[in-house]
Amino acid sequence: MLLKHFLPSPVLRDYVKSFGIVHLIFPDKKEIPCKSYIPKPENSIEFFLRDPEYVKYPGYGKNKRSSTIILGQHTLVTNRYIGREFLYFKIGFQPGAFYRLTALPLYELTNTYIDAESVFPKEIRLLNEQLKNAGSYSEMITRAELFLLKLVSREKKDSHRIDTSAKLLLQNNQHFSLDWLSKETCLSPKQFERKFYERIGINPSLFERIIRFDCAFRMKNNEPGKDWLSIAVQCGYYDYQHLVRDYKAFTGHTPPSFSHLEDQAPERVFGLCET
For residue 208, what are the β-bridge partners? none
Task: Record the pTM.
Answer: 0.96
pLDDT of residue 149: 98
pLDDT of residue 222: 95
Residue 198 per-residue DSSP state: H
pLDDT of residue 275: 82
189-200 vs 204-222: helix crossing angle, rounded to 10: 50
The stretch 185-201 carries a mean pLDDT of 95
CA-wise closest residue to 24 among 193, 272, 211, 213? 272
pLDDT of residue 226: 97
Superfamily for domain range 2-153: Jelly Rolls (2.60.120.10)
Task: Say whether pLDDT at 172 is over 80.
Answer: no
Task: Say whether pLDDT at 101 is over 90.
Answer: yes
- Span 62-92, pLDDT tens digits: 999 999 999 999 999 999 999 999 999 999 9
Provide the CATH number for the domain formed by 205-270 in this structure: 1.10.10
H/E stretch holding 32: none
The domain ranges of the chain are: 2-153, 161-202, 205-270
Q: How confident is the model at residue 141 (pLDDT cuts 50, 70, 90)?
A: very high
pLDDT of residue 119: 97
Q: How confident is the model at residue 171 (pLDDT cuts 50, 70, 90)?
A: confident
pLDDT of residue 175: 78
- Span 13-39, pLDDT tens digits: 999 999 999 999 999 888 999 999 999
Task: Say whether pLDDT at 201 is over 80.
Answer: yes
Instruction: Calculate the average pLDDT of the chain.
Output: 96
CA-wise closest residue to 195 among 119, 102, 96, 70? 96
Task: Say whether pLDDT at 270 is over 80.
Answer: yes
- Span 232-255, pLDDT tens digits: 999 999 999 999 999 999 999 999
CB 165 within 8 A of CB 183: no
pLDDT of residue 177: 84
The stretch 167-191 carries a mean pLDDT of 87
pLDDT of residue 184: 87
Task: Say whether pLDDT at 258 is over 90.
Answer: yes
pLDDT of residue 200: 98
The stretch 87-98 carries a mean pLDDT of 98
Beta strands in the chain (DSSP E): 2-6, 16-25, 35-37, 44-48, 54-56, 62-64, 68-71, 78-81, 85-93, 113-115
Buried b (16+ CB within 10 A) or exposed e, 81-113: bbeeebbbbbbbbbbbbbbbbbebebbebbbeb
